[in-house]
Protein backbone atom coordinates (compact mmCIF):
# COMPACT_ATOMS: atom_id res chain seq x y z
CA UNK A 1 0.00 0.00 0.00
CA UNK A 2 1.21 3.51 -0.74
CA UNK A 3 2.31 5.60 2.21
CA UNK A 4 -0.27 7.68 4.02
CA UNK A 5 -0.49 11.47 3.95
CA UNK A 6 2.40 13.12 5.76
CA UNK A 7 0.01 15.02 8.00
CA UNK A 8 -1.11 11.75 9.64
CA UNK A 9 2.34 11.43 11.22
CA UNK A 10 1.69 14.61 13.22
CA UNK A 11 -0.77 12.81 15.49
CA UNK A 12 -0.71 9.50 17.34
CA UNK A 13 -3.24 7.23 18.96
CA UNK A 14 -5.35 8.90 21.59
CA UNK A 15 -4.13 8.25 25.14
CA UNK A 16 -7.41 6.75 26.32
CA UNK A 17 -7.53 4.36 23.38
CA UNK A 18 -4.11 3.04 24.42
CA UNK A 19 -5.22 2.81 28.05
CA UNK A 20 -8.22 0.74 27.01
CA UNK A 21 -5.89 -1.79 25.38
CA UNK A 22 -3.67 -2.05 28.46
CA UNK A 23 -6.58 -2.34 30.86
CA UNK A 24 -8.16 -5.09 28.77
CA UNK A 25 -4.85 -6.98 28.92
CA UNK A 26 -4.68 -6.58 32.70
CA UNK A 27 -8.25 -7.81 33.09
CA UNK A 28 -7.21 -11.00 31.33
CA UNK A 29 -4.19 -11.66 33.58
CA UNK A 30 -6.05 -13.86 36.06
CA UNK A 31 -6.18 -11.25 38.82
CA UNK A 32 -9.79 -10.94 40.00
CA UNK A 33 -9.29 -7.50 41.60
CA UNK A 34 -11.37 -5.06 39.52
CA UNK A 35 -9.63 -2.15 37.84
CA UNK A 36 -11.00 1.21 38.91
CA UNK A 37 -10.85 3.86 36.21
CA UNK A 38 -10.29 7.38 37.50
CA UNK A 39 -8.52 8.47 34.32
CA UNK A 40 -11.32 9.73 32.08
CA UNK A 41 -13.80 12.50 32.90
CA UNK A 42 -16.94 10.60 31.95
CA UNK A 43 -19.88 11.36 34.29
CA UNK A 44 -21.24 8.23 35.95
CA UNK A 45 -24.59 9.84 36.79
CA UNK A 46 -27.46 9.85 34.26
CA UNK A 47 -29.18 12.87 32.73
CA UNK A 48 -32.42 14.02 34.36
CA UNK A 49 -35.50 11.86 33.62
CA UNK A 50 -37.16 14.53 31.46
CA UNK A 51 -34.15 14.48 29.11
CA UNK A 52 -34.30 10.71 28.69
CA UNK A 53 -38.06 10.90 28.21
CA UNK A 54 -37.61 13.43 25.40
CA UNK A 55 -35.13 11.07 23.74
CA UNK A 56 -37.32 8.00 23.96
CA UNK A 57 -40.48 9.79 22.86
CA UNK A 58 -38.74 11.21 19.82
CA UNK A 59 -37.14 7.87 18.95
CA UNK A 60 -40.57 6.25 18.91
CA UNK A 61 -41.85 8.57 16.20
CA UNK A 62 -41.44 7.38 12.59
CA UNK A 63 -40.32 10.82 11.39
CA UNK A 64 -37.28 10.90 13.71
CA UNK A 65 -34.82 8.78 11.77
CA UNK A 66 -33.97 10.75 8.66
CA UNK A 67 -31.30 13.35 8.05
CA UNK A 68 -31.52 16.54 10.05
CA UNK A 69 -30.26 20.08 9.27
CA UNK A 70 -26.48 20.03 9.39
CA UNK A 71 -26.41 23.23 11.43
CA UNK A 72 -29.01 21.95 13.86
CA UNK A 73 -32.68 22.70 14.07
CA UNK A 74 -33.87 26.28 14.67
CA UNK A 75 -35.32 25.15 18.00
CA UNK A 76 -31.96 23.78 19.15
CA UNK A 77 -30.08 26.93 18.15
CA UNK A 78 -32.71 29.01 19.95
CA UNK A 79 -32.34 26.86 23.07
CA UNK A 80 -28.57 27.40 23.17
CA UNK A 81 -29.05 31.15 22.70
CA UNK A 82 -31.55 31.25 25.56
CA UNK A 83 -29.13 29.38 27.81
CA UNK A 84 -26.46 32.03 27.20
CA UNK A 85 -28.97 34.76 27.88
CA UNK A 86 -30.16 33.10 31.08
CA UNK A 87 -26.80 32.09 32.53
CA UNK A 88 -24.48 34.79 31.22
CA UNK A 89 -26.66 37.69 30.05
CA UNK A 90 -25.11 37.26 26.60
CA UNK A 91 -27.35 37.92 23.59
CA UNK A 92 -26.71 35.66 20.59
CA UNK A 93 -28.34 35.56 17.17
CA UNK A 94 -29.48 31.92 16.85
CA UNK A 95 -29.23 32.03 13.06
CA UNK A 96 -25.66 33.31 12.80
CA UNK A 97 -23.92 33.05 16.18
CA UNK A 98 -24.91 29.51 17.24
CA UNK A 99 -23.56 26.36 15.56
CA UNK A 100 -24.57 22.98 17.05
CA UNK A 101 -21.91 20.27 16.88
CA UNK A 102 -21.59 16.50 17.25
CA UNK A 103 -19.56 17.01 20.41
CA UNK A 104 -17.14 19.86 21.03
CA UNK A 105 -14.07 17.66 20.37
CA UNK A 106 -14.79 17.50 16.65
CA UNK A 107 -15.46 21.24 16.50
CA UNK A 108 -12.20 21.97 18.31
CA UNK A 109 -10.24 19.84 15.84
CA UNK A 110 -12.07 21.21 12.79
CA UNK A 111 -11.54 24.81 13.86
CA UNK A 112 -7.79 24.40 13.44
CA UNK A 113 -8.34 23.04 9.93
CA UNK A 114 -10.57 26.01 9.12
CA UNK A 115 -8.19 28.67 10.40
CA UNK A 116 -4.59 27.49 10.36
CA UNK A 117 -2.09 27.04 7.55
CA UNK A 118 1.59 26.02 7.46
CA UNK A 119 3.63 28.81 9.06
CA UNK A 120 0.81 29.93 11.32
CA UNK A 121 1.02 29.65 15.11
CA UNK A 122 -1.59 28.45 17.59
CA UNK A 123 -1.04 29.78 21.12
CA UNK A 124 -1.79 27.00 23.60
CA UNK A 125 -1.46 27.44 27.38
CA UNK A 126 -0.09 24.29 28.97
CA UNK A 127 -1.15 21.96 30.55
CA UNK A 128 -3.90 21.63 27.97
CA UNK A 129 -6.47 19.36 26.41
CA UNK A 130 -4.57 17.40 23.77
CA UNK A 131 -6.86 18.25 20.83
CA UNK A 132 -5.63 21.86 20.74
CA UNK A 133 -2.06 20.78 19.93
CA UNK A 134 -3.02 17.91 17.66
CA UNK A 135 -5.48 19.98 15.66
CA UNK A 136 -2.80 22.61 15.01
CA UNK A 137 -0.22 20.04 13.96
CA UNK A 138 -2.65 18.28 11.64
CA UNK A 139 -3.27 21.62 9.94
CA UNK A 140 0.50 22.02 9.43
CA UNK A 141 0.72 24.90 11.88
CA UNK A 142 3.06 25.38 14.83
CA UNK A 143 1.70 24.99 18.36
CA UNK A 144 3.43 27.50 20.64
CA UNK A 145 3.18 26.42 24.25
CA UNK A 146 2.45 29.20 26.72
CA UNK A 147 3.56 27.86 30.11
CA UNK A 148 1.49 28.26 33.23
CA UNK A 149 2.14 27.14 36.78
CA UNK A 150 0.43 26.43 40.05
CA UNK A 151 2.04 29.59 41.45
CA UNK A 152 0.18 31.73 38.90
CA UNK A 153 -3.11 29.86 39.24
CA UNK A 154 -2.39 28.13 35.92
CA UNK A 155 -3.18 31.36 34.06
CA UNK A 156 -0.98 31.96 31.00
CA UNK A 157 1.25 35.04 30.95
CA UNK A 158 0.22 36.56 27.62
CA UNK A 159 2.68 39.43 27.95
CA UNK A 160 5.57 36.95 27.97
CA UNK A 161 4.83 35.57 24.49
CA UNK A 162 7.64 36.69 22.11
CA UNK A 163 6.65 39.36 19.60
CA UNK A 164 7.75 37.26 16.60
CA UNK A 165 5.46 34.45 17.77
CA UNK A 166 2.53 36.79 18.32
CA UNK A 167 2.96 38.19 14.81
CA UNK A 168 2.38 34.70 13.34
CA UNK A 169 -0.35 33.66 15.77
CA UNK A 170 -3.85 33.07 14.40
CA UNK A 171 -5.60 31.85 17.51
CA UNK A 172 -5.25 31.60 21.29
CA UNK A 173 -6.89 28.77 23.22
CA UNK A 174 -8.38 29.27 26.68
CA UNK A 175 -10.01 26.59 28.82
CA UNK A 176 -11.58 27.74 32.10
CA UNK A 177 -12.66 26.03 34.28
CA UNK A 178 -9.63 24.06 33.18
CA UNK A 179 -8.99 20.50 32.19
CA UNK A 180 -6.79 19.07 33.70
CA UNK A 181 -5.89 21.55 36.46
CA UNK A 182 -9.43 22.62 37.49
CA UNK A 183 -8.11 26.21 37.58
CA UNK A 184 -10.58 29.05 37.08
CA UNK A 185 -10.19 32.48 35.50
CA UNK A 186 -11.52 35.83 36.62
CA UNK A 187 -13.42 38.28 34.46
CA UNK A 188 -10.33 40.51 34.70
CA UNK A 189 -8.20 37.81 33.08
CA UNK A 190 -10.80 37.28 30.35
CA UNK A 191 -10.86 41.03 29.72
CA UNK A 192 -7.08 41.09 29.34
CA UNK A 193 -7.29 38.17 26.88
CA UNK A 194 -9.93 39.97 24.79
CA UNK A 195 -7.76 43.09 24.73
CA UNK A 196 -4.76 40.97 23.68
CA UNK A 197 -6.75 39.39 20.84
CA UNK A 198 -8.10 42.72 19.63
CA UNK A 199 -4.64 44.30 19.69
CA UNK A 200 -2.97 41.50 17.75
CA UNK A 201 -5.87 40.45 15.47
CA UNK A 202 -5.95 36.92 16.91
CA UNK A 203 -8.98 34.70 17.28
CA UNK A 204 -9.67 33.94 20.93
CA UNK A 205 -11.17 30.49 21.51
CA UNK A 206 -12.76 29.51 24.82
CA UNK A 207 -13.42 25.86 25.64
CA UNK A 208 -16.11 26.16 28.32
CA UNK A 209 -17.07 22.56 29.02
CA UNK A 210 -17.22 22.90 32.81
CA UNK A 211 -18.97 26.20 33.45
CA UNK A 212 -21.99 24.48 35.03
CA UNK A 213 -20.01 22.03 37.18
CA UNK A 214 -19.10 24.33 40.07
CA UNK A 215 -18.78 24.22 43.87
CA UNK A 216 -19.09 26.35 46.98
CA UNK A 217 -21.24 28.93 45.20
CA UNK A 218 -18.62 29.69 42.54
CA UNK A 219 -19.92 31.23 39.30
CA UNK A 220 -17.98 30.44 36.12
CA UNK A 221 -18.25 33.33 33.68
CA UNK A 222 -18.40 32.97 29.93
CA UNK A 223 -15.69 34.68 27.93
CA UNK A 224 -18.48 36.19 25.81
CA UNK A 225 -19.62 38.28 28.78
CA UNK A 226 -16.63 40.56 28.17
CA UNK A 227 -17.36 43.65 26.01
CA UNK A 228 -15.82 43.22 22.55
CA UNK A 229 -15.49 39.44 22.84
CA UNK A 230 -17.97 38.71 20.06
CA UNK A 231 -15.69 40.65 17.68
CA UNK A 232 -12.71 38.35 18.27
CA UNK A 233 -13.89 35.17 19.98
CA UNK A 234 -15.90 32.00 19.82
CA UNK A 235 -16.74 29.65 22.66
CA UNK A 236 -17.27 25.90 22.63
CA UNK A 237 -19.84 24.50 25.04
CA UNK A 238 -21.25 21.04 25.57
CA UNK A 239 -23.86 19.05 27.43
CA UNK A 240 -21.32 16.30 28.11
CA UNK A 241 -20.39 17.48 31.59
CA UNK A 242 -23.10 20.03 32.37
CA UNK A 243 -25.98 17.58 31.87
CA UNK A 244 -24.27 14.15 32.16
CA UNK A 245 -24.56 13.54 28.40
CA UNK A 246 -20.96 12.76 27.41
CA UNK A 247 -21.82 9.82 25.14
CA UNK A 248 -24.64 11.68 23.40
CA UNK A 249 -22.21 13.94 21.48
CA UNK A 250 -24.15 17.18 21.58
CA UNK A 251 -22.39 20.52 21.80
CA UNK A 252 -22.18 23.99 20.29
CA UNK A 253 -19.87 26.72 19.08
CA UNK A 254 -21.10 30.27 19.68
CA UNK A 255 -19.75 33.73 19.01
CA UNK A 256 -18.14 35.45 16.04
CA UNK A 257 -20.34 35.17 12.97
CA UNK A 258 -17.58 34.93 10.33
CA UNK A 259 -15.70 32.21 12.18
CA UNK A 260 -18.83 30.14 12.72
CA UNK A 261 -19.78 30.46 9.06
CA UNK A 262 -16.44 28.96 7.99
CA UNK A 263 -16.52 26.29 10.69
CA UNK A 264 -20.06 25.45 9.59
CA UNK A 265 -18.85 24.91 6.04
CA UNK A 266 -16.36 22.31 7.24
CA UNK A 267 -19.01 20.64 9.39
CA UNK A 268 -21.31 20.44 6.36
CA UNK A 269 -18.63 18.52 4.49
CA UNK A 270 -17.82 15.97 7.22
CA UNK A 271 -21.15 15.10 8.83
CA UNK A 272 -24.83 14.93 8.00
CA UNK A 273 -26.31 16.45 11.12
CA UNK A 274 -27.31 14.96 14.44
CA UNK A 275 -29.84 12.27 15.37
CA UNK A 276 -33.22 13.96 15.80
CA UNK A 277 -34.04 12.32 19.18
CA UNK A 278 -30.73 13.57 20.56
CA UNK A 279 -31.42 17.04 19.18
CA UNK A 280 -34.82 17.07 20.86
CA UNK A 281 -33.40 15.72 24.10
CA UNK A 282 -30.76 18.46 23.96
CA UNK A 283 -33.52 21.06 23.72
CA UNK A 284 -35.15 19.46 26.77
CA UNK A 285 -31.83 19.60 28.62
CA UNK A 286 -31.25 23.25 27.76
CA UNK A 287 -34.81 24.50 28.20
CA UNK A 288 -36.34 22.23 30.83
CA UNK A 289 -36.04 22.06 34.59
CA UNK A 290 -32.49 22.92 35.70
CA UNK A 291 -33.02 22.45 39.45
CA UNK A 292 -31.46 18.96 39.38
CA UNK A 293 -28.03 20.38 38.54
CA UNK A 294 -27.57 21.81 42.03
CA UNK A 295 -27.97 18.47 43.84
CA UNK A 296 -25.84 16.81 41.14
CA UNK A 297 -23.04 19.30 41.82
CA UNK A 298 -23.37 18.61 45.55
CA UNK A 299 -22.62 14.94 44.83
CA UNK A 300 -19.49 15.94 42.93
CA UNK A 301 -18.55 18.36 45.69
CA UNK A 302 -18.79 15.59 48.28
CA UNK A 303 -16.56 13.40 46.12
CA UNK A 304 -14.16 16.30 45.59
CA UNK A 305 -13.80 16.80 49.33
CA UNK A 306 -13.20 13.10 49.87
CA UNK A 307 -10.54 12.89 47.17
CA UNK A 308 -8.71 16.08 48.08
CA UNK A 309 -8.70 15.18 51.78
CA UNK A 310 -7.23 11.73 51.18
CA UNK A 311 -4.62 12.97 48.71
CA UNK A 312 -3.49 15.60 51.20
CA UNK A 313 -3.24 12.92 53.90
CA UNK A 314 -0.72 11.24 51.62
CA UNK A 315 1.31 14.45 51.64
CA UNK A 316 0.47 15.41 48.06
CA UNK A 317 0.23 19.00 46.88
CA UNK A 318 -3.26 19.50 45.46
CA UNK A 319 -5.59 22.49 45.29
CA UNK A 320 -9.30 22.42 46.14
CA UNK A 321 -11.16 22.82 42.81
CA UNK A 322 -13.92 25.39 42.51
CA UNK A 323 -15.16 23.69 39.34
CA UNK A 324 -14.69 20.72 36.97
CA UNK A 325 -14.31 17.01 37.76
CA UNK A 326 -10.60 16.68 38.48
CA UNK A 327 -7.94 16.63 41.15
CA UNK A 328 -4.61 17.70 39.64
CA UNK A 329 -1.85 16.73 42.04
CA UNK A 330 1.91 17.05 42.14
CA UNK A 331 3.68 13.71 42.24
CA UNK A 332 5.82 12.76 45.22
CA UNK A 333 9.60 12.79 45.00
CA UNK A 334 11.17 12.48 41.59
CA UNK A 335 8.47 10.36 40.01
CA UNK A 336 7.91 10.70 36.28
CA UNK A 337 4.23 10.88 35.45
CA UNK A 338 4.02 7.83 33.18
CA UNK A 339 6.11 5.72 35.57
CA UNK A 340 3.89 6.74 38.47
CA UNK A 341 0.59 6.02 36.75
CA UNK A 342 1.93 2.73 35.38
CA UNK A 343 2.94 1.67 38.90
CA UNK A 344 -0.46 2.63 40.27
CA UNK A 345 -2.27 0.74 37.52
CA UNK A 346 -0.08 -2.35 37.84
CA UNK A 347 0.03 -2.58 41.63
CA UNK A 348 -3.21 -0.92 42.80
CA UNK A 349 -5.27 -1.57 39.66
CA UNK A 350 -6.33 2.07 39.65
CA UNK A 351 -6.04 4.00 36.39
CA UNK A 352 -5.02 7.68 36.54
CA UNK A 353 -3.98 10.06 33.77
CA UNK A 354 -0.31 11.14 33.66
CA UNK A 355 0.25 14.88 33.37
CA UNK A 356 2.34 14.35 30.25
CA UNK A 357 -0.87 13.64 28.33
CA UNK A 358 -1.56 17.35 28.83
CA UNK A 359 2.06 18.35 28.23
CA UNK A 360 3.17 18.65 31.87
CA UNK A 361 5.61 16.39 33.72
CA UNK A 362 5.45 15.75 37.47
CA UNK A 363 1.65 15.76 37.83
CA UNK A 364 -1.27 13.35 37.51
CA UNK A 365 -5.01 13.82 37.11
CA UNK A 366 -7.70 11.97 39.04
CA UNK A 367 -11.31 12.20 37.85
CA UNK A 368 -13.86 12.03 40.66
CA UNK A 369 -16.83 11.01 38.54
CA UNK A 370 -17.21 7.52 40.02
CA UNK A 371 -19.46 6.30 42.82
CA UNK A 372 -18.34 7.14 46.36
CA UNK A 373 -17.65 3.52 47.30
CA UNK A 374 -15.44 3.08 44.23
CA UNK A 375 -13.53 6.26 45.04
CA UNK A 376 -12.98 5.10 48.63
CA UNK A 377 -11.73 1.72 47.44
CA UNK A 378 -9.36 3.35 44.94
CA UNK A 379 -8.01 5.78 47.52
CA UNK A 380 -7.51 2.94 50.02
CA UNK A 381 -5.49 1.06 47.42
CA UNK A 382 -3.40 4.14 46.70
CA UNK A 383 -2.72 4.62 50.41
CA UNK A 384 -1.48 1.03 50.69
CA UNK A 385 1.15 1.46 48.00
CA UNK A 386 4.77 1.78 49.05
CA UNK A 387 5.46 4.85 46.93
CA UNK A 388 4.86 7.65 49.37
Query: How many domains, in total, are found in the chain?
Result: 2
**92-97: Cβ within 8 A, 24+ apart:** 92/224, 92/254, 92/255, 93/257, 96/257, 96/260, 96/261, 97/230, 97/254, 97/255, 97/256, 97/257, 97/260
Of 237, 256, 287, the residue that ends a domain is 287
Does 12 lie in the same domain as 78?
A: no
Same domain, 372 and 301: yes
Instruction: Select from 266, 287, 308 the last residue of a domain.
Output: 287
Q: Are residues 282 and 348 in the same domain?
A: no
Of 252, 287, 322, which closes a domain?
287
Is 134 in contact with 11 (CB distance < 8 Å)? yes
Q: What is the pLDDT of residue 24?
A: 85
Rg (CA), the chain: 21
The pairing of beta strand 203-207 with beta strand 98-101: unpaired
**Average pLDDT value over all residues in the chain:** 95
DSSP summary character for residue 50: H
* Position 60 in a domain: yes
pLDDT digits (tens, 9 = 90+) for 74-97: 999 999 999 999 999 999 999 999
Give the mean pLDDT of 210-217: 98
Range of the domain at 56: 49-287
Residues 61 and 128 reside in one and the same domain: yes
The closest of 152, 158, 144 to 191, measured between CA atoms, is: 158
Note the pLDDT of residue 14.
66
Cis check for the bond before 180: say yes or no (omega within 30 of 0): yes
Distance CA 134, CA 138 (A): 6
Which H helix or E strand runs over 53? helix 49-59
The per-residue pLDDT for 6 is 80
Q: What is the pLDDT of residues 353-387, one digit of tens each?
A: 999 999 999 999 999 999 999 999 999 999 999 88
Amino acid sequence: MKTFATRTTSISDHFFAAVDVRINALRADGNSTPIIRLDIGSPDLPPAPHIIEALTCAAARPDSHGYQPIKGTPALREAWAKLYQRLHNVTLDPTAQVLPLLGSKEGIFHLSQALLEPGDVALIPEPAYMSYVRGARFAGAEPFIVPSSRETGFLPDLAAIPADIVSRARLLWLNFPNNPTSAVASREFFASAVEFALRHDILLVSDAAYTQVTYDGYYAASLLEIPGALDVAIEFNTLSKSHNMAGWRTAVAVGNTDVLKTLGTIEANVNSGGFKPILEASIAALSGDQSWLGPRNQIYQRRRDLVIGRLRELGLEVDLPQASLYAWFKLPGDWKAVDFTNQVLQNARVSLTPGTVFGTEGYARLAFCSPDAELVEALNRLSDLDIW
